[in-house]
Homo-oligomer: A and B are copies of this chain.
Amino acid sequence: MAGGTKRLPRAVREQQMLDAAVEVFSERGFHETSMDVIAQRAEISKPMLYLYYGSKDELFAACIQREGQRFAEAFTIVGDPHLAPREQLRKAIEVFLGFVAENRSSWMVLYRQAVGQQVFMGQVQSTRDRLIELTAGLLEHSTREPMPDQDFHMMAVALVGAGEAVADRVAGGEVTPDFAVDLLESLAWRGLSGKKKGE
């Protein structure tokens, strides 16, 4: 009878909770965040959190999961076979940095939070691996240079690493996504030898 005790369908509640969790985790970090605070933010009681997610770890995992999902989905467009591989690579970089720029508070921080929590490293790595494989594939189709797969893979590792580093700066507002895209693309294709600003 008292106000505020709504009966909501499960799916809605779940999202409401994840929203709150992502928010708080991203603001304060995993360990600094207590279940109390998440419950408060989600405007539900702690037992509800446990009913739906079982434990703090599982809740955090669910957060990474969902955000990773959204991230991955952003890349579906890249596979467009109408585009030349080079175009696809550029597109991929755009999508990546674009996503980061628009979701800094949620994804970037979750990402940076999850890294360093041994327990979740696996999940992060798996999201990252998907990105690396995607990149490796694009590289392979974009160049005539014949290289062993292994090389493409490691090159993709390096490029994604570069991308993440730059993404941090984008998220921090230190560079514009546009500038960063050019820079990364240029790095990928020509390294220092051919970088020409704005070209």
Contact = CB atoms under 8 A, between A and B. Distances in A.
A166 interface: yes
Chain A, interface size category, equals 35 or more
B162 A159 contact: yes
Contacts of A123: none
Copies held by the complex: 4
A168 B116 CA distance: 13
A164 interface: yes
A164 B161 contact: yes
A130 to B, nearest CB: 15
Contacts of A169: 154, 157
28 contacts: A29-B116, A30-B116, A112-B115, A112-B116, A116-B117, A139-B192, A143-B193, A145-B194, A147-B197, A148-B197, A151-B183, A154-B169, A154-B183, A155-B187, A155-B192, A157-B166, A158-B162, A158-B163, A158-B165, A158-B184, A158-B187, A161-B164, A161-B168, A162-B162, A162-B165, A189-B191, A190-B190, A190-B193
